[in-house]
Amino acid sequence: MTVAESMRRLRMDGWCVIEGVIPDAEVGKVRQSIVETAKNHGTEGTRSAVRGLITYDQSMAPHLTDSKVIGVVEAVFGPHVRASMTTAVVTTSGEERGTWHSDWPFGQTQRRHFPAPYPDNPAHLTTIWMLTPFTREGGGTLLVPGSHRSPNNPSADMGVDASAPYPTEVQATGPAGSVLMFDSRLWHSSAANTSRETRVAVVVRWAPWWLNVNPLVPGTADYEALAEETGERPDDVQLISPQMYRSLPDAAKPLFRHLVAP
């Protein structure tokens, strides 16, 4: 799809799939790198997550600024966008269906969030980079089209069973190398992997320059204040070293300069 077509889908439905972002000749190498990183740094279980992925693995970095993706992100937010989170997710056979939610900063159970009702304006975008094909059996992401316009989501007590199928839900599918993009307000859930295949993906979330992501970043005053209040130190985002930052492709550096350690 063109940037204009992707934008239209985002406005109307809250989501779209952009195919052919990572070329066929390269997606296998990226997938292998992510799987190895998950073995070394991922969580245990049928759903292994590597939070703060960019600190461990930069194989995705050259593809993050593909014009089909970054063109949409900048069309929504303007220039000076940031990659707020990078997480690898490796899901093996047997993973069960998740619950309906919206991503930060719209999760109502999170200590730092937009209070409901939400304004009808995008403030965060989520992209899921398909490093293996997303199929119905393999557990392509579940979505509720148009729910990005809802003033709340099932992470709050709004009369919607977060664990139950929703009447208008759809499932995102696509070949390896595709990118699922959605407004982070959109209700979504992981689907059960009933296949015999492992599903490999990378989640990259995008923020405009004006959204304060410091509550996510260890070492910042906002993060440390939240950690003192709650006793929790979430590790979804990690600082990167100056040396690693210098090794990133020049086009990708502006996406991560807010995460460079002193």
Q: Which two tokens stand for residue 97?
A: 């269906």
Tell me the C-alpha distance between 125 and 10, whole Å: 10
Q: Which amino acid is at 220?
A: T
Q: Tens of pLDDT along 95-136?
A: 999 999 999 999 888 777 888 899 889 999 999 999 999 999
Q: Tens of pLDDT along 178-213?
A: 999 999 999 999 999 999 999 999 999 999 999 999
β-pairing, 125-130 with 179-183? Answer: antiparallel
In three-state secondary structure terms, 181 is strand
Whether the CB-CB separation of 152 and 108 falls below 8 Å is answered with yes
* DSSP-assigned beta bridge partners for residue 10: none
Full-model pTM = 0.96
Q: Which amino acid is at 251?
A: A
% helix, strand, coil for the chain, step of 5: 30, 20, 55
* Cis peptide bond prior to 117, omega within 30° of 0: yes
Tell me the C-alpha distance between 210 and 131, whole Å: 31
Tell me the C-alpha distance between 152 and 102, whole Å: 9
Percent of the chain with pLDDT over 90: 82
